[in-house]
């Protein structure tokens, strides 16, 4: 939570900036508390505790714009900091598109109702946290002579922010998080030491998976033993719900207003056009209670609402903030996605896998990138060869290469099993005709 003292400081800083000649200003303060404990094999390896505060201030001076931030919150220092910021901003070129949003677009509610803060955060004892990582490490430590290293980590924290603007916005956001992860390494063939991990995270302590994380990490490592590459070829590909966002994220970048305005996108002038498979409908659903990603307003203070991003393969919106909107002469929407969901299919991951005669299940990406203006991609992958609906061989050291729009046109089936602890709730998806490079 942001203290009243820091809220007052933000208001003072804004007034100071306006008094010193700014036509407008936005001030935000943030505070964070973080704790983490890392356990390896049979002992605590590391504990870290911290809390931090800072202020950032956007100055609109004589049609010019600068953005300044500091963690030195002493008033006398802030006075000099803001004065110097104003002075520096005056040297820049004018930018008529730099404006605060229209006030009617701001969120005006009381900030309540999203249920993204655990009021019991401070009630959780260090002993309880330690017990979790100890137990998760013990789930597997010493259970298999091929194990080299077992580690388990716990972390939690609070993030708070508070923002005001000179044209009337005031908003606060507080959220908590708890997470547990485990990582195991094993002796593989030759000199390899394959490793894998598992984790859970939650907004509420009570909802955190507190056991089984170590065991799952171990199982995910065991199944990788004996990985190899197979002959290059074109196969169907299923990407599970832990990895699918990797293939969606460059599409989301391509519909960002700044990318469109800078011509750094493969989705310019595509609004209301069929861009990908009609099986895919993507929704930005920002007000789901208790969900990661939920928020009442974006980074500019604009009220969020439920929006359809892609409807049956047709692009329905760009993410346009005030600046890009003015430059593009386009109605602004919202700065960035909040909570992405998609219309589910009828089958879960296992049921889709069972339909695959021969194909590849991607369980992890290893590097790679995509071309932001053409959509061409090439990613390293690992996973399994699927034959007659069953995983028959662990794979690694292979690449998939193609074009993102082509790939998303070739969607065969969308699952019904998104990971609910993520702000991008996308289930497993089966694609056809994917180019794999191997031997």
Partner 1 sequence: MKRRDFLRAGGLAVVGAAAFPQIIQSQITNIKEDLPKMLNHFGVTETDLRKVMAVALEKGGDYADLYFEHTFNNYMALQDGAVNRAGSNIDYGVGIRVVSGDQTGYAFVENTTLEDMINAARTASRIASGSAKTPPVKIDEKVFKNHYPIVKSWENATIQAKMPYLQKLNDRIFELDKRVTKVNASMNDSTSYILYYNSEGTLCHDYRPMIILSGFCIMQQDGKIENAYSSRAARKDIGFLTDEIVETIAQEAVKNTALLFDAIKPKGGEMPVVMGAGGSGILLHEAIGHAFEADFNRKKTSIFSDKLGKKICDEHINVVDDGIIDYDRGSINFDDEGIASQRTYIVKNGILNSYLHDRISARYYGVAPTGNGRRQSFRYVPIPRMRSTYMENGNYTEEEIIANVKQGVYVDNFTNGQVQIGAGDFTFFVKSGYLIENGKLTQPVKDINMIGNGPKALADITMVGNNLKIDQGAWTCGKDGQGMPVSQGLPSVLVKQLTVGGQ
**Pick from 101, 171, 194, 337: which binds partner 1 (CB under 8 A)?**
194
- Residue 358: what are its φ and ψ, rounded to 5°? -145, 130
**Pick from 8, 15, 42, 52: which binds partner 1 (CB under 8 A)?**
52
Strands of 307-311's sheet in order across? 314-315, 307-311, 282-284, 340-342, 424-425
CA distance 208 to 21: 49
Long-range contacts: 52-55, Cβ < 8 Å, 24+?
A: 53/6, 53/29, 54/29, 54/30, 55/9, 55/10, 55/13, 55/27, 55/28, 55/29, 55/30
Q: How far is the CB of 267 from partner 1 (least distance, A)?
A: 11
Q: How far is the CB of 290 from partner 1 (least distance, A)?
A: 26
Q: How far is the CB of 108 from partner 1 (least distance, A)?
A: 29
> What are the CA-CA distances from residue 54 to residues 17, 65, 68, 160, 201 (Å)?
17, 20, 11, 11, 26
Nearer to partner 1, 355 or 410 (CB): 410
Nearer to partner 1, 266 or 349 (CB): 266
Token pair for residue 227?
A: 């990985």
Residue 422 is a binding residue for partner 1 (CB under 8 A): no
Q: How far is the CB of 331 from partner 1 (least distance, A)?
A: 20
Query: Where in 220-249 is the site for partner 1 (CB under 8 A)?
Result: 224, 227, 229, 232
Could you tell me which residues are beta bridge partners of residue 43? 40
- The owner of tokens 């900030």 is 111
**Pick from 104, 110, 145, 191: which binds partner 1 (CB under 8 A)?**
191
Q: How far is the CB of 364 from partner 1 (least distance, A)?
A: 9
Query: Where in 100-139 is the site for partner 1 (CB under 8 A)?
Result: none
Residue 68 is a binding residue for partner 1 (CB under 8 A): yes
Residue 64 is a binding residue for partner 1 (CB under 8 A): yes
**Pick from 170, 174, 311, 397: which binds partner 1 (CB under 8 A)?**
397
Q: Is the Cβ–Cβ distance between 389 and 354 less than 8 Å?
A: yes
Residue 30 is a binding residue for partner 1 (CB under 8 A): no
Query: Where in 242-281 is the site for partner 1 (CB under 8 A)?
Result: 262-264, 266, 268
> What are the CA-CA distances from residue 117 to residues 112, 226, 349 (Å)?
10, 44, 31
Residue 95 is a binding residue for partner 1 (CB under 8 A): yes
Strands (E), 279-357: 282-284, 307-311, 314-315, 340-342
Could you tell me which residues are beta bridge partners of residue 291? none
Nearer to partner 1, 45 or 278 (CB): 45
Residue 355 is a binding residue for partner 1 (CB under 8 A): no
Nearer to partner 1, 165 or 370 (CB): 370
Q: Give the alpha-carbon dihedral of 388, 390, 394, 397, to 10 degrees.
A: 50
> What are the CA-CA distances from residue 34 to residues 55, 154, 174 (Å)?
18, 11, 14
**Pick from 50, 120, 122, 273: which binds partner 1 (CB under 8 A)?**
50
Residue 368 is a binding residue for partner 1 (CB under 8 A): yes
Residue 48 is a binding residue for partner 1 (CB under 8 A): yes
Nearer to partner 1, 1 or 44 (CB): 44
CA distance 191 to 194: 10
Nearer to partner 1, 156 or 382 (CB): 382
Residue 189 is a binding residue for partner 1 (CB under 8 A): no
Of 394, 393, 374, 370, the residue nearest 382 (C-alpha): 394
Nearer to partner 1, 217 or 429 (CB): 217
**Pick from 8, 72, 75, 128: which binds partner 1 (CB under 8 A)?**
72
């Amino acid at each position: 939570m942001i203290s009243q003292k820091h809220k007052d400081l933000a208001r003072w800083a804004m007034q100071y900036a306006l008094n010193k000649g700014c036509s407008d200003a936005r001030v935000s303060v943030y505070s964070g508390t973080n704790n983490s404990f890392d356990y390896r094999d049979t002992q605590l390896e590391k504990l870290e505790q911290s809390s931090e505060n800072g202020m950032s201030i956007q100055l609109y001076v004589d049609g010019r714009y600068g953005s300044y931030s500091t963690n030195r919150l002493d008033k006398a220092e802030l006075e000099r900091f803001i004065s110097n910021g104003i002075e520096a901003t005056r040297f820049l070129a004018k930018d008529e598109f730099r404006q605060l949003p229209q006030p009617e677009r701001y969120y005006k509610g009381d900030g309540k109702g999203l249920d993204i803060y655990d009021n019991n955060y401070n009630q959780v004892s260090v002993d309880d946290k330690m017990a979790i990582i100890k137990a998760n490490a013990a789930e597997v430590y010493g259970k298999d002579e091929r194990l080299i290293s077992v580690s388990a980590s716990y972390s939690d924290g609070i993030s708070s922010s508070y923002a005001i603007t000179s044209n009337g916005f005031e908003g606060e956001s507080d959220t908590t998080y708890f997470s547990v992860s485990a990582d195991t390494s094993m002796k593989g063939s030759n000199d390899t030491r394959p490793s894998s991990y598992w984790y859970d995270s939650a907004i509420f302590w009570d909802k955190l998976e507190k056991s089984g994380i170590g065991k799952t990490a171990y199982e995910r490592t065991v199944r990788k033993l004996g990985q190899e590459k197979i002959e290059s070829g074109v196969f169907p590909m299923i990407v599970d719900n832990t990895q699918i966002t990797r293939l969606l994220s460059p599409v989301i970048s391509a519909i960002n207003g700044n990318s469109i305005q800078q011509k750094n996108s493969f989705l310019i002038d595509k609004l209301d056009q069929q861009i990908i498979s009609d099986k895919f409908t993507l929704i930005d659903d920002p007000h789901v209670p208790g969900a990661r990603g939920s928020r009442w307003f974006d980074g500019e203070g604009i009220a969020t609402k439920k929006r359809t991003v892609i409807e049956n393969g047709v692009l329905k919106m760009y993410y346009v903030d005030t600046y890009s909107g003015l430059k593009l002469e386009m109605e602004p929407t919202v700065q960035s996605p909040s909570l992405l969901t998609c219309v589910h299919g009828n089958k879960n991951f296992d049921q889709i896998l069972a339909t695959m005669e021969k194909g590849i299940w991607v369980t992890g990406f290893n590097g790679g990138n995509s071309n932001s203006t053409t959509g061409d991609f090439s990613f390293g992958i690992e996973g399994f060869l699927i034959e007659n609906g069953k995983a028959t061989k662990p794979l690694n050291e292979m690449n998939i290469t193609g074009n993102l729009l082509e790939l998303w046109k070739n969607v065969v089936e969308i699952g019904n099993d998104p990971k609910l602890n993520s702000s991008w709730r996308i289930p497993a998806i089966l694609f056809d005709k994917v180019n794999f490079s191997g031997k």
